[in-house]
Amino acid sequence: MITKKTSGKESYAWTLDYLPYGNPTDKRPTYQKKPLVQAVGEEFFVLMELVPKEGMVPEPQSRIYIGDGERDSIDHVKHRIKYDELTHGAQLELPFALEKIVMYSEKRFVDFFNEAHPITARLHMLELIPGIGKKLMWAIIDEKKKGDFKDFGDLAERVSGLHSPGKVAKSVAHRIEDELKDDNIKYRLFTTSPYRPKK
């Protein structure tokens, strides 16, 4: 689960911000710039800019198809971007979009709790999730021995320190956001290697 690979192709993205006059850092005249959508990929959490179809304005935090074949509102993916290239609005939307993705793909993240293992003799993958220390880690491991967790509700019910399904999703989303913000973070649980622009 510690990610070493580079990302594959995203099929779905969740919108973060709509830029009717393109990216504000683009120095070209306004008439030369096209509207853009900043978004985060659903599977690899790739941050990207998309060019919407003419007249289309996707709502923030909406799930849109960007894979091969007929797309609903997006003409094409323009390029991959880094966290620092997100607009202020997109950065504010990101935690909420990530929570939505985690809840939408709940099984994938429940599997993380079922399959998590030690990274080193002193550090367990579970400890990289914000809010999970040694005590809570052992509570999760002990409960897992009794049987796999079925969903976030089952996890929160069996491990009292996790409080609620929403709290679990928020903690996982927080970890994903930390990985997107820090190119040099030591361990990646959910995201891929940082974007390196081609020279």
Question: Domain residues of the chain, as ranges?
Answer: 12-94, 104-181
CA nearest neighbour of 131 among 91, 92, 175? 175
Instruction: Please tell us whether the domain made up of 12-94 is placed in CATH 3.30.420.40.
Output: no
**Continuous H helices in 78-164:** 88-104, 106-115, 134-144, 152-158
Residue 133's pLDDT is 94
Rounded distance, CA 100 to CA 106, Å?
10
Residue 2's pLDDT is 56
- The distance of Cα 89 from the centroid of its chain, to the nearest Å, equals 16
Which CATH superfamily does the domain covering 104-181 fall into? AF1531-like domain (1.10.150.280)
Residue 198's pLDDT is 56
pLDDT tens for the chain, residues 1 to 199:
455 545 678 999 999 999 998 888 888 887 778 899 999 999 999 999 999 998 898 888 999 999 887 787 899 999 999 999 999 999 999 999 999 999 999 999 999 999 999 999 999 999 999 999 999 999 999 999 999 999 999 999 999 889 899 999 999 999 999 999 999 999 999 998 776 655 4
The SS3 assignment for 30 reads helix
Q: Which residues pair with 50 in a beta bridge?
A: 37, 77
Residue 22's pLDDT is 86
Residue 24's pLDDT is 80
CA nearest neighbour of 39 among 100, 88, 81? 81
